[in-house]
Structure 1
Amino acid sequence: MIDALILEGRMVIMIGKNFELIAGAACLNFTNTLGGARGKTNETEYLKNYQDLLNWNLLAGLLSAKQAESLELKSKDHQSEANKVLEKAKELRESIYHIFSAIASGQIPPNSDLVVMNRELEHGLHHQRIVWTLSGYKWGWEEPTELDSLLAPIARSAADLITSADLTHVRECASPSCSWLFMDETRNKSRRWCNMKTCGNRNKLKRFRSRHVRNE
């Protein structure tokens, strides 16, 4: 995990160690910026300020270091606006979570959450451009200059996923103490845990202790 980024000889962005990009889709990774299980006592917020939001976007590859630095400087001059963008980001995150959590359990997503996602799409997609890369032409984004420029790529990722054949691969961690989402790319579609090193191992240990108690 990256601890810091050095730009032009100085540290400009600290990367939150709680951010894990294990979901397989940017929008699902974004929903996982809330740790633990939603509504439970172990719920943990990782997006505590606009800087955290920048950190996640930088780590997820949605911003360059130079772009992150520019938005960081602007956020310090417009703190009230930055705080409002953070709240909008959390609202979008929870709507994306509700949409894909419902889909993962075979239910129809709440329309109110689709409204939130569509609102951000409507607001942000006019910043998209066709750009040339070494691998050919693809969709890209104009230079992000507004503090809320961070939200459009996340909403676009959610829109791409919900309209793709990969939608059937969306899963929610089976642990009762976790609500992280992920893409199940296993051959037999048997993945149950967001991360075997954490939730998977905890469940294995719990089952082992339960069997040990029963055998005593």
Structure 2
Amino acid sequence: MTDSWRGYHLLGGNVALDLVNTVSWRLDQARTFDRLTAPDFLPLWLTRTELGSFASSSTLVEPLRELRETLYRLLTAPAPADVAQFSAWLSAAHSLAVAPPSLPLRWTVPVDRVEDVIPSLTLTADELLRSPDAALVRQCSGPGCGWLFLDRTRNHSRQWCSSQDCGNRERARRHYQRSKTPIEPLPNG
């Protein structure tokens, strides 16, 4: 594992959310880290998300960043410009899409070349945006985190991207606050 993977996990529940989560500390400007620009991150991410194995993927960085930021806005605060931009990518992706001859039709873009990654991710994101799962997308409650995930808990109460990461930090913060708060003596009565 390279340094660019330290602190990063595929935990969004959907590859489109995992793409959005390639920005760490999105809501904390002092700590924001764009992993797509980190050396060796993108080829490993593509392999681990089963989008392909491409040693030379540097041409993908900027288009992926544009798709990622548009998806983030669509999932958190959609604007007409983002819908229009995504629609253009979707039209282009559909021109490359194929479906097996069985119902229900599931359109995909086979990733045979590095140029197929954006259209393939666009169709995957479209499936998420049109599915009931879109209502399950949550943003981590960890201060500064900003990662998105699918909340598949029974009562839809998941708060953190990872209980072991942001959840532990929050529990440690609460414990520290409780331990430093002076305990008032009970009045004698």
Q: Is the 8 A contact 1:131 1:140 kept in 2?
A: no
Which structure's residues are more often strand, by fraction? 1
State how far apart, in whole Å, the 2-side matches of 1:132 and 1:15 are. Answer: 40
Matched, 1:124 2:93: yes
How far the C-alpha of 1:33 sits from its partner, in A, is 0.5
**Aligned partner of residue 215 in structure 1, secondary structure:** coil
Matched, 1:112 2:78: no
Alignment root-mean-square deviation, CA: 2.7
Matched, 1:210 2:185: no
For normalisation by structure 1, the TM-score amounts to: 0.74
User: Among 62, 66, 82, which residue is 1:91 paired with?
Assistant: 66
Q: Which AA in structure 1 matches 2:173? A: K
**Aligned partner of residue 182 in structure 1, secondary structure:** strand
Task: Name the structure 2 match of 1:42.
Answer: 31
**Mapping for residues 49-64 of structure 1, pairs under 5 Å:** 52-63=41-52
Q: Which AA in structure 1 matches 2:98? A: R
Task: Name the structure 1 match of 2:125.
Answer: 158
State percent identity of aligned pairs: 26
Q: Is the 8 A contact 2:139 2:161 kept in 1?
A: yes
Q: Which AA in structure 2 matches 1:202? A: R
When the two structures are aligned, how many residues end up with a matched partner?
182
Q: Which AA in structure 2 matches 1:86? A: V
Q: Which AA in structure 2 matches 1:25? A: N
State how far apart, in whole Å, the 2-side matches of 1:125 and 1:19 are. Answer: 31
1:60/1:125 CA distance change after superposition, 3 Å: same
Task: Name the structure 2 match of 1:141.
Answer: 109
Task: Name the structure 2 match of 1:72.
Answer: 55
Task: Name the structure 2 match of 1:106.
Answer: none
| Cα distance per residue 1:88-129 (max 9 Å; x no partner) | 110110110111123xxxxxx112222222222222222221
User: Among 4, 7, 12, which residue is 1:23 paired with?
Assistant: 12
Q: Which AA in structure 1 matches 2:97? A: Q
| Cα distance per residue 1:9-34 (max 9 Å; x no partner) | xxxxx994554111111111110011
1:203/1:93 CA distance change after superposition, 3 Å: same
Q: Is the 8 A contact 1:50 1:86 kept in 2?
A: no
State how far apart, in whole Å, the 2-side matches of 1:169 and 1:206 are. Answer: 27
Larger Cα Rg: Structure 1 or Structure 2?
A: 2
Give the gaps of 5 or more residues in structure 2. Answer: 184-189
For normalisation by structure 2, the TM-score amounts to: 0.83
Task: Name the structure 2 match of 1:194.
Answer: 161
State how far apart, in whole Å, the 1-side matches of 2:108 and 2:46 are. Answer: 15
How far the C-alpha of 1:161 sits from its partner, in A, is 1.2
Q: Is the 8 A contact 1:37 1:176 kept in 2?
A: no
